[in-house]
Chains A and B, each alone.
Chain A
Amino acid sequence: MTDTGLSRRRFILTAIAAYSVVTVPFRWLPGTSAVADTAVKPDLVRLTRLLFPHSGLASDVYADVAETLFDSFVAHPESAQLLDMADTALDAQVDGDWMDVDEDRQVAALKGIENEAFFAAILAALRGAFYNHPKVWAYLHYPGSSKEHGGYKHRGFDDINWLPEVD
């Protein structure tokens, strides 16, 4: 086996799974018996909307994404704890109930915690759930799988018509 003196090494984490779904690292926080309160759920809906503000997107999509994520988070004590940490941290940022302040202050509070590990984990999980949601795809006019429609060979893969003529 090779010698491994990790502390001596440059250790650059570039573990951003840009090309793949980011899964929540449920095991990276110390386990506790904390279970997120269902009162946190409305906060999660609001959070989802502020993280991914698409003005024309129906509210029920945000609620659906938040609901799905909430259910998967509370299934594991470690991830449920992430929600509680975010809830507590956001309230601390505004010296009160984060849900009660106006949008500018809510966004400022989010900026105040955006470098926290628990925020990064929640953002990654919400991002995965949100940008893979069929209703979000429909809103973005991304039709999803094309295999069953024979691909785009005869459906506009080369139909762009606004480019200028060049040599």
Chain B
Amino acid sequence: MAKQYALDDDSVVVVIGSGAGGGTVANELAQKGIDVVCLEAGSRLTLADVENNPPLMDARMGWHDKRIGAYLWVCKTVGGTTMRWSAVTPRLQEHEFRALTTYGQIDAGTSLIDWPVTLDELAPYYDIAESKMGVSGTHGIPPSEETNNFKVLKVGAKLAGYKQITSARMAINPVARDGRPDCQQISFCNAGCAIGAKWSTLYTEIPKAERTGHFELRANSMAVRINHDKTRKVTGVVYRDQSGELHEQKARAVCVAGNVAETSRILLNSDSALFPQGLANSSGQVGRNYMRHTFGVAIAVMPKPVNMYRGARQTGILFDEQGHDPGRGFAGGYQLQSHGFDPLTTSNLIGGWGRGLTVFTDNYTNLASLFITGEDPPEADNRISLHPTERDDNGLPVPVIEYRNHANTDTMRDHAIAASRRIYESLGATQFWGGDAPVGCHNMGVARMSVDPKDGVTNRWGQAHDVPNLFVSDGSVFSSSGAGNPTLTIVALAIRQADHIAERMSQKML
């Protein structure tokens, strides 16, 4: 039964955000019998609200509060961005946890560090996360079914000499599992999965947490500030309800998981005499080292129909280029992933107008396309801060998101686009477009884990260096980006963090 907690109940853990990180850490805590109040800024949809129309669903569940600067493709709804994600779930590679050691400090602008966590340490949690999410091709779950668009990538890649390509590592049920059905290949998973075959916390972690009797979800509750006492412990979270009224939920501990802009904003907005630069920000690192990935998209006109609108939006990964090979002229590696696009998104990506655009859109059914994701080195000046005067409709300071691609990222993208061109041209592509895709869907680094408190915001558990009962539970804690999609790692870290919180509580240290 879903519980209700009193505002002055200071025995609860307050989790801010209900997406991959927040939804997971909340459920894991509730499963252990720890009482949790989860504050979610957005509203709670049901599967019946999900329509197979990405632009319409963007209006319904996307985050549209005012922001300045680089665009972030995130959601304001129960389930967070797991509602629109493509569910690609690779693990980070061993060397990616040792980014500084492996790559060296690339130049004066980069701020690489190693993770205070190793792959060996995280591996058991990856296992739990994959099993929980139902990742295809792992733990006895079959691989994903191969869509047309994936087959073009697979065959083209093999003709181009690549070998490591798989239609697996998708958190979309290839067979019915865990009370959810198998994928019906509805397409454009970014509209939300209308049948729940794709893992999203809205219909997995959240209802599971509710069934424990140790969890309350408060939707339409926008966290605005975290309060603390004079011993530097956090004591509660102030939030704004749907009617605009402010409340404070008292807390024993707080987990922040609002995706990078909201996580930065709530910490920076919780400044005080004790924390003049913002909560947990004695290092000045909150909001800094914002990473996305080396993003790119390649779109090709193939000689015959592909119909990329059919089937799961993303289906598989080419791994050959994900290693670190300095001979290519850049640090880190990248993956190529099959990725279908609807007509409007295709047009937005290619951009421009006239025949240079319509030579592609005129051949919509013959288009094949892929998504590039690769390592993006952290830079202190890629950062999220608060605008000094601008306020949004909630009266909150507007986040300013500054991001530029590093030269390493541009060089890597060029390499990935050349590889993509070879792949599609091996099958007779007649037109090819490759370019940047400034989509802001993988967001990391603004409260990164570090050994030295000067280098980051949180320790190896995602626990704030400055505040013992404050945790960060989303992609903000990534010490470096790695090449692959972040969500599996976010979930693995959140499960591990919940174990740590429970252990500290049992030792009366929280």
Contacts and interface: CB of A to CB of B under 8 A. Distances in A.
Interface of A: 1-2, 4, 6, 9-22, 50-55, 107, 110, 114, 123, 127-128, 131-132, 136-137, 140-148, 150-153, 155-160, 162-164, 166-167
18 contacts: A1-B386, A2-B281, A6-B387, A12-B404, A14-B69, A16-B351, A17-B71, A18-B71, A51-B353, A127-B348, A127-B353, A140-B362, A141-B365, A146-B187, A147-B186, A151-B185, A152-B186, A164-B427
A6 to B, nearest CB: 7
B277 interface: yes
A150 B184 contact: yes
Contacts of A11: 69, 402
Given A2-B268, A140-B365, A166 B155 contact: yes
Given A147-B52, A147-B186, 6 more contacts: A2-B287, A17-B73, A20-B55, A52-B353, A131-B343, A157-B311
A157 B312 CA distance: 9
A163 B151 contact: yes
A153 B345 CA distance: 23
Given A151-B185, A152-B186, A52 B404 contact: no
A167 B157 CA distance: 11
Interface residues of B, number: 80
Chain B, interface SS category = loop
Interface stretch (B31-39, B100-108, B142-150): B142-150
B275 to A, nearest CB: 11
Given A11-B402, A21-B59, A158-B151, A50 B354 contact: yes
Chain A, interface SS category = loop
A11 B351 CA distance: 22
Given A1-B278, A2-B386, A4-B388, A158 B186 contact: no
Contact of B354 (A9, A107, A158): A107
Contact of A20 (B58, B287, B354): B58
Contacts of B186: 146-147, 151-152
Nearest to A137: B343
B140 to A, nearest CB: 22
Given A53-B355, A128-B344, A158-B151, A152 B55 contact: no
Interface string B128-148: 000000000000000001111
B461 interface: no
A142 B441 CA distance: 25
Contacts of A151: 183-187, 311
B311 A152 contact: yes
B307 to A, nearest CB: 7
A18 B62 contact: no
Interface string B436-466: 0111110000000000000000000000000
Contacts of A137: 343
Contact of B185 (A51, A157, A167): A157
Contact of A145 (B51, B311, B351): B51
Contacts of B58: 19-21
Contact of A155 (B54, B152, B269, B310): B310
Contact of A158 (B158, B311, B364, B365): B311
Looking at A9, A144, A151, A155, the one whose CB has the most chain B CB atoms below 10 A away is A151
A140 to B, nearest CB: 4
A2 B310 contact: no
Contacts of B277: 2
B282 interface: no
